[in-house]
Amino acid sequence: MTKLSDIAFKIRSKNAGPFWLTIDIFCESPQRFHEACALAETAKVARALGAEESELKRYEIADLNVLKFSIPRPQIQGTRFDRDMHGASFATLLADLKTTEGA
């Protein structure tokens, strides 16, 4: 069973404005990038992040070996219900994403 964190050398999440979050998955090589793209199926990522698949935006940047996802923030940044001002906790949700045969 392979986890996304076994393939990528860095996974981070951050604000993309007060209404969106972005998760970046950095890979060391084109081979690892393609493995990450295959493992991080859009539907599986949406489920892991608790987002609607139709609202999830996926960006594959092959020249940089980077895969990115953006989702609407569950809470608008800085509101009294926002428990993660910088969106940092979302990266860990994708780091644990596993291959289908191990899920």
Residue type, 59: Y
Is residue 37 within 8 Å of 66, Cβ to Cβ? no
- Residue 12 has a pLDDT of 96
The answer on pLDDT for 102 being more than 70 is no
Q: How far is CA 95 from CA 8, 33, 79, in A?
A: 9, 14, 27
Measured CA to CA, the distance from residue 3 to residue 19 in angstroms comes to 28
Bigger pLDDT: 43 vs 86: 43
Task: Give the global pTM.
Answer: 0.89
Measured CA to CA, the distance from residue 33 to residue 67 in angstroms comes to 7
Average pLDDT rounded to a whole number, residues 93-100: 86
Average pLDDT rounded to a whole number, residues 79-96: 88
User: CB atoms < 10 A from the CB of 52, how many?
Assistant: 10
The answer on pLDDT for 103 being more than 50 is no
